[in-house]
Amino acid sequence: MLKRPRADTARSPAPDDRELLARIASGDLQAFERLYRLYQPRLTRFLTTLLKRPQLIEEVLDDTMMVVWQTSGNFRGSSKPSTWIFAIAYRKAYKAKARWPDPVEDPEFDTRISRDPGPDEELHHQRQRTALMKAMDQLSPDHRAVVDLTYFHGMGYREIADIVDCPVDTVKTRMFHARRRLKQAMSGSLVDWL
């Protein structure tokens, strides 16, 4: 099982996401804050994978969480809360993309990676990470979404299919294709990892 992002580590007994959604439905701002803190890092990461404009990431994140705040009473529990929330984010991201297509060149790309010189080993690792991010950048948003939901968010292919609203075989095919592209793009540096 994957470790979840650090923000999940609340220090008191944590109410589960379903309970939080129920409390949010009755206007409980503290429950909403808690849910936000659980999901913000994961959603930011997911949206960063899908969208290349930082301002758009913030806007879509907030819009997503506002939908959660306003419509959590509609959550019926047929899926996991995370599936419901990520699916909202995915739809919002696609609507935003339609309004603001990705820039042709990504001016932020280089700044996302620290260029501080470090010890050799660290520098080497940094290069590998750069290669990985460049390879990700060359994938389509659909492929990036599946890769990120798998590797970062630790989700299974069925949950991913629910989020991106496509058949499970499509998820598997996208992942297979994406992995091949990642490997090709990183060829040399990837061999060094193993």
Partner 1 sequence: MAGPNLTEQRPHDEAEELLPWYANGQLDAADRARVEAQLSSCAHCRQQLAMERRLIEEFQAIAPEVESGWARLRARVEAPRRIRVDKSPAPRPFAELRALLSRPAVATLATAQVAFVVLAGGALLSLSKPVYHTLGSAPAPASANLIVMFRSDATEEDVRDVLRASDASIVGGPTAANAYLLHVAPTERQSALVKLQSDGNVQLAQPIDGVAP
Interface contacts to partner 1, rule CB under 8 A: 1-3, 5-7, 10-12, 29-30, 32-34, 36-37, 40-41, 44-45, 48, 58, 61-62, 65-66, 69, 128-129, 132, 147-148, 150-152, 154-157, 159, 172, 175-176, 179, 182-183, 190, 193-194
State the minimum distance, in angstroms, from the CB of residue 97 to partner 1. 19
Q: Which is nearer to partner 1, 104 or 135 (CB)?
A: 135
What tokens appear for 95 in the block? 């609507």
Vertex 182 angle, CA 179 and 187, to 5°? 120
| DSSP strands (E only) in 26-137 | none
Cα distances (angstroms) measured from residue 75 to each of 71, 141, 179, 187: 7, 27, 34, 44
Helix (H, G, I), strand (E, B) or coil at 138: coil
What are the C-alpha distances in Å from 92 to residues 10, 47, 189? 28, 10, 35
> C-beta of 167: minimal distance to partner 1 in Å?
14
Residue linked to tokens 């949010």? 24
Nearer to partner 1, 33 or 108 (CB): 33
Q: Using alpha carbons only, what angle is made at residue 70 by residues 66 and 74, rounded to the nearest 5 degrees?
A: 125
Token pair belonging to 99: 């309004």
Q: Report the nearest approach of partner 1 to the CB of residue 172 (Å).
A: 5
* Interatomic CA distance for residues 123 and 42, integer angstroms: 27
Q: Given the complex with partner 1, which of 44 and 102 has the nearer CB atom? A: 44
Minimum CB distance to partner 1, residue 10 (Å): 5
Given the complex with partner 1, which of 48 and 87 has the nearer CB atom?
48
**Looking at beta carbons only, is 165 or 176 nearer to partner 1?**
176
